[in-house]
Amino acid sequence: MRVIGGEWKGRPLVAPAGRGTRPTSDKVREAMFDVLLALPELRAEGAAAPAAGALGGHVVLDLFAGSGALGVEALSRGADACTFIENERFALRALRANLEGLGVALVGRDGRVKGGDDGRAGRARVLAADARRALQADARRGARYTLLFADPPYDRYAEVRPALARLLGPLLAPRAVLVIETAAGTAAGLPWTTVREKRYGDTRVTFLVAAEVPDDEGVPADDDRSVT
């Protein structure tokens, strides 16, 4: 695995040990970002000057992050910040090793920034938590994301999908772009506008855009249905 483009192009990435995660291949990741960067909705969201990178101005969420390859790719291409949510220990080990190896500045629970070569390539938060709890906590703190990646386990997507539809809304900025990976035969089935859909081997990637008006209703804190 390697970073495909941007500041860290060609830098190696660590893949998680074991079989608990399924990293997005370099070829699929490259194709995904080619489509993503061509979306007019994405370009409209980037508020920064081109010198900041193709994703300058974007705040990213990498859900079911695994090795963090998708969020890292976004940071490499200029995203301001990325929150990584992952709960599997081997994946977390690889994710943290990748961020440390690239010199990414990390934001701790206390809000303090630790490490980082120069901070130019954006900052990262790593939430080692059940996805449901992490998303609810982010909603309570008022987080808003302009770009979201989600790569849930293919064999659990039918279980995960309803929870994503409930929990992601309060976290999406107006016109946020979502990139959802599923098995090739599985539709994303989420309540936002699909603008592109691509198949790469056994993977389907759906590109969606959130509504102009954000969803502020949130999800009750005692909703215990899991999207681990």
Mean pLDDT of 198-221: 79
Give the model's pLDDT for residue 108.
Answer: 77
**What's the distance, CA 169 to chain centroid?**
15
- The whole-number pLDDT of residue 80 equals 92
pLDDT at 110: 66
Instruction: Specify the CATH number for the domain of residue 82.
Output: 3.40.50.150
**pTM attached to this predicted model:** 0.88
Count of domains for the chain: 1
Domain membership flag for residue 119: yes
Decide if 183 is inside a domain. yes
Beta-strand relationship, 172-183 and 203-209: antiparallel
Give residue-wise pLDDT tens across range 78-113: 999 999 999 999 999 999 999 999 999 888 776 777
pLDDT computed for residue 177 by the predictor: 97
For residues 96 and 128, the answer to whether their CB atoms sit within 8 Å is no
pLDDT in tens, 128-166: 999 999 999 999 999 999 999 999 999 999 999 999 999
CB 149 within 8 A of CB 206: no
Assess if residue 154 is contained within a domain. yes
**Whole domain around residue 89: which residue ranges?**
26-209
**DSSP label of 4:** -
Identify the burial level of 47 via C-beta atoms within 10 angstroms of its C-beta, where 0-12 means exposed, 13-18 middle and 19 or more buried.
exposed
Mean pLDDT of 1-6: 94
Give me Rg for the CA atoms of the chain. 16
**What average pLDDT score do residues 45-62 get?**
75
